[in-house]
Chain A
Amino acid sequence: NAGVTQTPKFQVLKTGQSMTLQCAQDMNHEYMSWYRQDPGMGLRLIHYSVGAGITDQGEVPNGYNVSRSTTEDFPLRLLSAAPSQTSVYFCASSYLSGGRNTIYFGEGSWLTVV
């Protein structure tokens, strides 16, 4: 049971390049999401999914696309990277069971756009 796995851990992109951050979970969780964290700030929600085939926007969705073709995977695509997207990205997954909604986060992906 690996939990939430993110790849790559570190990436440098040039402005205008595109890339995909991968996220996989092996806990059969229905819910997955992507957050970004800028230096000295809290996490901000980019996109989330409540199940395979269903996605929705969070607080800061511009410049990012997501899809959820399977329960396990939730990739985040940067369409045309900009320096403002330099950040640490966290993928998360959770399930709803009674009153407990524990969210499991990945270890983060450090992205620098130059």
Chain B
Amino acid sequence: DAKTTQPTSMDCAEGRAANLPCNHSTISGNEYVYWYRQIHSQGPQYIIHGLKNNETNEMASLIITEDRKSSTLILPHATLRDTAVYYCIVSDRYGGATNKLIFGTGTLLAVQP
């Protein structure tokens, strides 16, 4: 069973921030939160990951609550090309390295013009 819960779908206006929530209430102390996205018919693409501190890279920001039971992926200025299914995954660092990631059904983000 997937260890995360995400909304099935979300809409966002182009140019606005997209905030994608994820619940992972059973996360263990050594497990990371990973975010991947899958644009239609393509292979999944890595976005960002974190352990307990907030993280930011060129694609997105990841906000993890202090108790680590939930997180939010933020796309600061969504574009039409960000329309995709976003997967939130929890795994230890070796699980990520050995590709033993469990993908749920993710959140379909639809960016509207």
Interface residues of A (CB under 8 A from B): 4, 30-33, 35, 40-45, 48, 50, 58-59, 90, 92-96, 99-108
CB-based contact A105/B44 at 8 Å = yes
Chain B positions within 8 Å of A59 at CB level: 102
Question: 8 Å CB contacts to A: which residues of B73-107?
Answer: 87, 93-94, 96-106
- A43 vs B104: C-alpha distance when bound (angstroms): 7
**Cβ of B68 < 8 Å from any Cβ of A?**
no
CB-based contact B43/A48 at 8 Å = no
Chain B positions within 8 Å of A45 at CB level: 99-102
CB-based contact A99/B105 at 8 Å = no
A92/B99 contact (C-beta < 8 A), A42-B104, A42-B105, A99-B51 known? yes
Say which size band chain B's interface belongs to: 20 to 34
Chain B positions within 8 Å of A35 at CB level: 103
Q: Which of A30, A90, A101 has the most CB of B within 10 A?
A: A101
Sample of 17 further A-B pairs with CB below 8 A, known A96-B97, A108-B42: A4-B43, A31-B97, A32-B99, A40-B105, A42-B103, A43-B44, A44-B103, A45-B102, A48-B100, A90-B44, A92-B43, A93-B99, A95-B97, A99-B49, A99-B93, A104-B46, A106-B43
